[in-house]
Structure formats: structure tokens, C-alpha cells
Amino acid sequence: MTKKIDRYIFFKMLTITLFVMMVLIFIFIVIDFSENSEDFTDKGATFAQVFGVYYLNYIPEIARLIIPVAVFIACLYLTGQMAERLEITALKAAGVSLYRILLPYLAFAFLMTATMSYLDAYVIPNANETRLAFESEYLSSKSDKVDTNRIFRQESENSIFKINYFNPDKGTGYRVDVINFEGDRISKKLFIQRMIWQEEQQHWKLENVRKQTFTEMGYSEVHVDSMDTTLNIYPRDLTRKTSDIYQLTYPEAQNYIQSIERSGAGGVELPKVQLYGRYAYPFSIIVVTIVGFALASVRREGGKGFYIAAGLAVSFLYLVMMKVIEPFGGQGEIDPMLAATLPHLIFLVIGVSILVNARK
């Protein structure tokens, strides 16, 4: 009997979740298009580009964001329906514990978590890259660049670069000053008019270089028209955006953060919080499943009205807590890992507490 119940709950959760996702995705696209349709028209985007490029590549990100909500609604609806029909009461009377009834819900939640983690790690970043490129051309009214002018990078332990301006489209830095140290004194200075990234050779070409070498007796100066060199600084280190992490697979994102730390750039906490948040977000599916089941497994006054109100309240508080805590991690006021995981841990404790105290 329990196996039939397990299959019923699992496939019912799957059916309701998919239905809710389709409805929410449709609503999201309609609202987004109504807000941005004038921008699309004004900037010359065609119908095929808008729906065949932008929204087609936006759907994976929308799905990632709404899956926990869809699972939560499905859990509340299905469990509440079973409680109203006294099916849960009948199962408990037959000797099936509330924890045992929860198992197919958890099986579904773990499957969705694993699927979402894989998609977020390797599939969604490529779609995000295409979507964000479209936004920058047709929608974005402001830049999300972290670095603009006067970029400072530590190329090595004894070498500091100051780049007054970097053009990411041309891969060219202008008016670059380099200071090399030996111990506690300056050993060399370079004043570079332009540094150009050579994609095929994977190195920099320095043009119009004035080189000063310092000794105890003074300094000497030479001028070099151009020279090629390899550096521990790459174009990606000079063109950071707040959306970078969401366009990278998990391994690429880890390398990205390591490159920021290696280059001596500041603001590494924000991409760390974003990456840890990506790691933790799929597990919110398990959390909301436990919370939803705990809330809906007992018949309550108000019926469906209670479940709707509870669902909206929990979803709102969950989202608010994630958005409120994340900036503190991004500013380095709390550990980035803690900032990314704390909301999920808090609601997991709440869900488990409600479940433990529910009538068995």
C-alpha cells in the first residue's frame, strides 16, 4: 500500500510542479515583455530576436528562480488536499507515521535539487551569457561593471599595476603605470602608453614604454617602442561585472574568484557570496518541501485560504531574508559562506521544528 502512496505522491508532486512552473514562466514573460516592449522597439530588436534569443535564453534562469516556489506550492496544495480529505489521518490510523509519509516528498525534492544543481552548474550559465549580451545591447540603461577607471592590480608579490582606463571591446589598457619593488624600495617603474591583449598568442603587447631603473646612485631611463610580455593579469581581471558569476559554470566561477584573489583586486566577497548562493539555492527545494509538508499535514481552520496565506508569507520571508543578508556578505561584514547559507539553515530549523511538533 505504501508503495502505491509513494508513487501517487511523487508523480502528483511532479505534475503540479510542472504546471505551476509553466504558469509562472508565462506570467513572468508577459509582465517582462509589457515593461520592455518599448525598449525592444526603440532599439530595433525584431520579434524573432526577442522571443527566439532573449526569452528563449531567459527561461532557464526563470525556471531556476521559481522551481522552489513551484515545489512549495505543489507541496502545500497536495498535502493540504490529503489532509482535508482525511487521507493523512487514515494513513496514520493504519500505522503509517507522518515521517514515513514525508519520504516520497523528500525523494522528489532531492531529485529536483540534483537536477537544478546540474543545470545551474553547466547549462544555465551559457543561456545567461547570451541573455545578458542581448540585454546590454537592447535593454541595459546602466553599466554593471565593478571596475571602470583607475584600476589597480597586483601582478605579483613585488609588482603593482595602475591602469587608468581599460577598453574591454579592444582589449586595450591606456596610460598604465607599473611599480616593481625589491624589499622595501622601488627598483623599477614603467610608464606604458598602451597595453594590448594578443588573443592568439595569449600575451600582452606593450607600446610606447618608458622604463626607469633605480639604484643607490640614482636612476637610468630608456624608451622602448614596443615589447611583448606575459603577465599574471588577463582581460577578464580588468572587465569584472556584478553578473559575471551567473555566466560561468561552477569550475569557471571558482577559477574566476581565484584570478581575482591572485590579481590583488578588491571586492572578492561579492562574487564569493554569489557563487556560494548558487551552491546553496537548490537545497532550498528540500527546505521548502519540509516546511510545506509540516504546515499542511494537519487540518487547520481556514482550509485552502490558510495554505495560500502561509505559502505567500513563507515565500516572501524566505526571499527577503536572502536579499537582506546577501549584501552583508558582499561587503565583507559577515563570512560569504554564512551569508549564502544562513537563510536556508534558519528555515530548515523552522520546518523541522514544526514537523516535530505536529500531531503524529
Whether residue 18 lies inside any domain: the answer is yes
Averaging pLDDT over each range in 156-170, 247-261, 337-351, which range is the top one?
A: 337-351
Band (pLDDT 50/70/90 cuts) for residue 313 is: confident
Band (pLDDT 50/70/90 cuts) for residue 147 is: low
Whether residue 245 lies inside any domain: the answer is no
Q: Which residue is associated with the grid cell 515521517?
A: 99
Contact 330, 273 (CB under 8 A): yes
As a whole number, mean pLDDT of residues 244-273 equals: 82
Residues 6+ apart with CB under 8 A from 182: 158
What pLDDT does 263 receive?
A: 65
Does pLDDT of 264 surpass 70? Answer: no
- Within the chain, strands assigned E span 149-156, 159-167, 172-182, 185-198, 203-215, 218-229
What pLDDT does 295 receive?
A: 85
Least confident of 20-34, 64-78, 112-126, 239-253: 239-253
> What mean pLDDT value characterizes the chain?
87
Instruction: Examine the domain organization and report whether 110 and 154 are in the same domain.
Output: no
What pLDDT does 315 receive?
A: 78
Instruction: Examine the domain organization and report whether 168 and 100 are in the same domain.
Output: no
What pLDDT does 111 receive?
A: 95
Averaging pLDDT over each range in 206-215, 267-276, 315-324, which range is the top one?
A: 206-215
Does pLDDT of 359 surpass 80? Answer: no
Give the range of the structural domain holding residue 79, as residue numbers without chain letter. Answer: 2-140+272-357
Does pLDDT of 331 surpass 90? Answer: no
**pLDDT tens figures, 186-208:** 899 999 999 999 988 999 999 99
State what percent of residues in the chain have pLDDT above 70.
Answer: 92
The Cα 282–Cα 288 span in angstroms is 11
The Cα 289–Cα 102 span in angstroms is 9
**pLDDT tens figures, 158-187:** 888 888 888 887 889 999 999 898 887 889
Instruction: Examine the domain organization and report whether 39 and 113 are in the same domain.
Output: yes
Instruction: Examine the domain organization and report whether 127 and 28 are in the same domain.
Output: yes
Cα angle 283, 285, 288 (rounded to 5 degrees) comes to 115
For 94, list phi and psi in degrees, rounded to 5.
-85, 5
Q: Which residue is associated with the grid cell 527545494?
A: 285
Band (pLDDT 50/70/90 cuts) for residue 141 is: low
Whether residue 167 lies inside any domain: the answer is yes
Instruction: Examine the domain organization and report whether 302 and 342 are in the same domain.
Output: yes
Pick the last residue of a domain from 210, 237, 264: 237
Closest by Cα among 278, 285, 283, 282 to 74: 285
Does pLDDT of 67 surpass 90? Answer: yes
User: Which of residues 315 and 135 earns the better pLDDT score?
Assistant: 135
Whether residue 248 lies inside any domain: the answer is no
Instruction: Examine the domain organization and report whether 125 and 153 are in the same domain.
Output: no
Whether residue 247 lies inside any domain: the answer is no
Whether residue 281 lies inside any domain: the answer is yes
Instruction: Examine the domain organization and report whether 122 and 14 are in the same domain.
Output: yes
Pick the last residue of a domain from 193, 211, 237: 237
Pick the last residue of a domain from 194, 213, 237: 237
Band (pLDDT 50/70/90 cuts) for residue 242 is: confident
Whether residue 258 lies inside any domain: the answer is no
Cα angle 167, 169, 175 (rounded to 5 degrees) comes to 20
What pLDDT does 159 receive?
A: 87
Instruction: Examine the domain organization and report whether 127 and 174 are in the same domain.
Output: no
Instruction: Examine the domain organization and report whether 212 and 312 are in the same domain.
Output: no
As a whole number, mean pLDDT of residues 71-78 equals: 92
- Indicate the number of domains in the chain: 2
C-alpha cell recorded at residue 128: 545567461
User: Which of residues 299 and 7 earns the better pLDDT score?
Assistant: 7
What pLDDT does 157 receive?
A: 80
Closest by Cα among 100, 76, 81 to 3: 100
Band (pLDDT 50/70/90 cuts) for residue 106 is: very high
Residues 6+ apart with CB under 8 A from 81: none
CATH number of the domain that 219 lies in?
2.30.30
Instruction: Examine the domain organization and report whether 231 and 179 are in the same domain.
Output: yes
Instruction: Examine the domain organization and report whether 103 and 171 are in the same domain.
Output: no
Whether residue 329 lies inside any domain: the answer is yes
Q: Which long-range contacts (CB under 8 A, 24 or more apart) does 183-189 make?
A: 185/214, 186/214, 187/213, 187/214, 188/212, 188/213, 188/214, 189/214
Does pLDDT of 231 surpass 90? Answer: no
Instruction: Examine the domain organization and report whether 64 and 81 are in the same domain.
Output: yes
